[in-house]
Homo-oligomer: A and B are copies of this chain.
Amino acid sequence: MPAPTSRRELNKAATREAIADATLAFLRAKSLSEFTVDDVAAAAGVSRRTFFNYFSSVEAAVASFTQNYLDTVIAELESRPADEPILESAGHALSAVDSAADLAMLAETFALTQDPQLGRFQLQAWEECSSKIADVARHRLPPATNELYIQALVGAVVGSCKAAFGVWFQEHGSDISPASLAHLRELLGTTISLVRNGFNN
Q: Which residues of chain A have a CB within 8 Å of any CB of chain B? A: 85, 87, 116, 119-121, 123-124, 127, 130, 147-149, 151-164, 166-167, 170, 187, 190-191, 194-200
Contact = CB atoms under 8 A, between A and B. Distances in A.
Contact of A159 (B116, B160, B200): B160
A135 B195 CA distance: 21
A152 B127 contact: no
Contacts of A149: 194, 199
Nearest to A85: B200
B197 A200 contact: yes
A199 to B, nearest CB: 5
12 contacts: A116-B124, A120-B120, A120-B123, A120-B124, A123-B127, A148-B190, A152-B191, A152-B194, A153-B194, A156-B159, A156-B160, A195-B198
Contacts of A167: 147-148, 151-152
Contacts of A191: 148, 152
Report, nearest first, the 3 A-B pairs whose CB atoms are least far apart.
A159-B159, A198-B198, A155-B163
Given A116-B124, A124-B120, A164 B190 contact: no
A191 to B, nearest CB: 5
A187 B155 contact: no
